[in-house]
Amino acid sequence: MSIVPSLHTPHPRDCIRIVFGALAVMCHLALPGCAPDAVPVKPIDSGASAAPGGPFPAPDDHPAVHGPLGPATSFSEAQLFEPCAWLDGGPEDEDQHNLVVPYSGYLLMPWAPEDGAGGLSLFDVSDPCSPTKHGEGFTEDIRETHSLGFVHLGGDHPHAGDYTVTNGVLGVVFWDVSDPTAPEAIHYMRLPDVFYPDSYARVVLSTFWQYPWLYVAAADNGVFVVDASNPYEPSLVGEYRFDPVLRAGGVWALGNYLVVGSAEQTKTAILDITVPYEPQPVPGGIFEHLDDDGHAVESYHANVTGNWIFQARKENGGGFLLYDWTNPMSVDYVGQHKTPDGNSGYVFYDEGFVFVGESEMGRVFDMTDPTNISVVGTAVIQGDIDTVTPFGNVAIFSSDDLAIPGQASGVIPWSADPDTTGPAVLRIEPANGATDVPTSTRIGISFNEMVEPVSVFAGSVRVSTREGTPVAGWHSVQEGIVSFTPAAPLPTGTEIRVVVPGGGVMDANGNRTASDFEATFTTLGG
């Protein structure tokens, strides 16, 4: 999709002209003054190829991953929660690390200090205690990064390739990761009112890429919306500022909802992004983090998985708070697990377990029964351990300050046996059976663990009409959330079918979905 600005036409968000690739259907938004010279771009992601028995590719017929996938090593009880290897960035690495994610069979690690200059490194961790670096890229413009979203643009797209985005010193940085041996920073986008030095007040703290829309959590600036349909020429198309200020620290888009977690504050907001470039408040969607005693608790950062919103406790003990946002207009407190000696940073969920960096240590919690949460184990590396990221049966414990040189990210086994369970769907938006869904909807699917971005494509996440006609559009992936954006407004009064077939979407270890998931919703009108 291409959105072309003109001094003589409406804002680009009001004029979108799209050609449906192989379906050869052109869709115009019925708006006066739409530019006749808008550049058509063919969406190749859905219905681009056929498979026996249907219009979609086979669920495992995605591009090949480059790396050998995740950890395949078993560990003894004595080896658990002890560092067995270290991950280091390039020669410029100042040993300030944060999250890691799976990408194309490798572990991808961003590395950069708060004030900027760093890169992306990719590692083979199939033998996790002997990791091998396979790729690296550097830019002066990246800063400390807490999120990574991915999109694949197919061969007929004018900018065909694979892309991700990181935080930038004064905005965001887009990267071409088509060649995992040489990730390349391709565009540094500065954003208004973003400046450093200040670790929290006016910087970009995280992003969420629901292609083509990039949502940017910019602390006291609120949320910026970027049209990133062309990663080489993104443009700012919207913003949302909270009054009173909510310091936007994390953003997670799921369908037509945007969860905005605060940084070092006591509230979280849920916004309506039915119109993606004009976020609006959800009635009742701002809630305060209250613990078991009813006390307001500051959260350092949050995370969203399925119906749960996790809040990492920043004060008066560590651990996390848990909320149920099944109804975005009435978020329910589920409970907490408080650690008296902790001071939590970032929180992740993986197949029933919760991973929290608690400053002086990192912990893994068993949440297979949310009413009876317990500590599985604790590990320590030198420095400020803000982040513990699950990666199969190991976790990456990362320090963003005061680490031993070359030891800012430790590979630490937490479970004896390699992961053999594939990802499972926890939630879909729009919800199964929903009616009167706006035709502008995007579809969000939340899994119970991070998924391998390369495995998400038209064959593994299928969107069609009830009659089986594929809906053209784009898939994007961020951690455990898969987004699908239709290339044009959906037809009115139509039942839309979403299928995640078994044997398709993979996790970091290459385990695929075990069974079919299906949901339907019906669009407004008709």
Q: State how far the Cα of 169 lies from the Cα of 190, in Å rounded to an integer.
A: 8
**Residues 400, 341 share a domain:** yes
Last residue of a domain, one of 374, 395, 413: 413
Read off the pLDDT of residues 296-309 as tens digits, 9 standing for 90 and up.
999 999 999 999 99
Domain CATH for 345: 2.130.10.10
* Pair (30, 83) in one structural domain: no
**Is the same domain home to 87 and 168?**
yes
pLDDT number for residue 44:
37
Rounded to whole angstroms, how far apart are CA atoms 89 and 526?
A: 55
> Residue 315: pLDDT band by 50, 70, 90 thresholds?
confident
In a domain, 509, yes or no: no
Does residue 104 form part of some domain? Answer: yes
Q: Which residues pair with 520 in a beta bridge?
A: 497
pLDDT surpassing 50 at residue 34: no
Does some domain include residue 393?
yes
Total structural domains in the chain? 2
Residues 12 and 136 in one domain: no
Please report whether residue 439 resides in a domain.
no
Q: Return the closest-CA partner of residue 86 out of 403, 419, 450.
A: 403
Asked if residue 346 lies in contact with residue 330, where contact means CB atoms within 8 angstroms, the answer is no
Lowest mean pLDDT among 43-52, 184-193, 401-410: 43-52
Which domain range does residue 21 map to? 1-42
Same domain, 30 and 112: no
pTM reported for the whole predicted model: 0.91
Please indicate, yes or no, whether residues 130 and 18 belong to a single structural domain of this protein.
Answer: no
CA atoms within a 13 Å half-sphere pointing along the CA-CB vector of 503: 6
- Residues whose CB falls within 8 Å of the CB of residue 108, separated by 6 or more in sequence, listed in order: 100, 101, 102, 120, 121, 122, 148, 164, 177, 180
266-280 average pLDDT score = 98
Position with higher pLDDT, 18 vs 112:
112
Residue 2's pLDDT band (boundaries 50, 70, 90)?
very low
Pair of tokens at residue 327: 């109804």
Q: Is 405 exposed, middle or buried (0-12, 13-18, 19+ CB in 10 A)?
A: exposed
- Position 41 scores a pLDDT of 32
Domain boundary among 396, 413, 430: 413
Per-residue model confidence (pLDDT) at position 197: 82
Pair 200, 310 in one domain: yes
Statement to judge: residues 96 and 27 lie in one domain: no
| pLDDT at residue 9 in the model | 29
Residue 518 in any domain: the answer is no
User: 190-245 pLDDT, tens per residue?
Assistant: 999 999 887 789 999 999 999 999 999 999 999 999 999 999 999 999 999 999 99
Q: pLDDT exceeding 90 applies to what percent of the chain?
A: 87
Calpha distance 361→381 (Å, rounded): 7
pLDDT band of residue 54 (cuts 50, 70, 90) is low
> Per the domain annotation, does 394 fall within a domain?
yes
Assess if residue 467 is contained within a domain.
no
485 domain-assigned? no
Domain boundary among 413, 446, 476: 413
Counts for the chain of helices (H) and strands (E), in that order: 0, 37
Output DSSP code: residue 251.
E
pLDDT at 198: 77
pLDDT digits (tens, 9 = 90+) for 109-141: 999 999 999 999 999 999 999 999 999 999 999
Q: Do 86 and 36 reside in the same domain of the chain?
A: no
Q: For tokens 């990267």, what's the residue?
A: 175
